[in-house]
Amino acid sequence: MADKTLDDLFYETLKDIYYAERKILKTLPKMARGAQDEKLQAAFLKHRDETETHVERLQEIFEKIGKRARAKTCPAIDGIVEEGEEILEAFKGSPAIDAGLLAAAQAVEHYEISRYGTLKAWAMQLGHDDVAKLLDTTLQEEGKTDETLTKLAETAVNGAAKQRAA
């Protein structure tokens, strides 16, 4: 194990986020169908389209570093997605479902932001400047999605959940 390098860690983490992005692609349409707020539904569907681009960008990154695009099971994203599915079941028809789905989506975004930030730093350290730029593009997009979700929570979703429950 002592012969493992940052390059190895970089590749393993790329496989992790590749798995995560593909899992998220499958999950976002379910979340959109479960959401009651039209703006939240639209945000989920827009992010699904962006996620397709993220998967393609990761495939490009694998190619640039001369490695096969492979996914590695990511227990962290599996757990976050499972929590979102539990919210879908437990709160179906409830005034709080949108607040719960939005919170689950932000957990996903925060995981992705963490991974992409780390990968970008490692790419720069490894001299993969072109890869770092691609990773930064995705990082910025994930940050914007998180901001959009925060605004939706603060301006509509959380208040609507509270009002309907009263």
Which pLDDT does position 166 carry in this prediction? 54
Can you say how many angstroms the Cα of residue 13 is from the centroid of all Cα atoms in its chain?
14
Domain containing 136 equals: 6-165
* Nearest CA-CA partner of 105 in 49, 39, 32: 32
| CA Rg value for the chain | 17
* Segment 61-99, tens digit of pLDDT: 999 999 999 999 999 999 999 999 999 999 998 989 999
Angle between helices 6-34 and 97-125 (to 10 degrees): 160
Q: What is the CATH number of the domain that holds 46?
A: 1.20.1260.10
> What values do phi and psi take at 59, rounded to 5?
-60, -40
Question: Could you tell me what percent of the chain has a pLDDT over 70?
Answer: 98
Residue 1 maps to a domain: no
pTM, entire model:
0.93
CB 134 within 8 A of CB 116: no
> How many domains does the chain contain in total?
1
The pLDDT assigned to 165 comes to 55
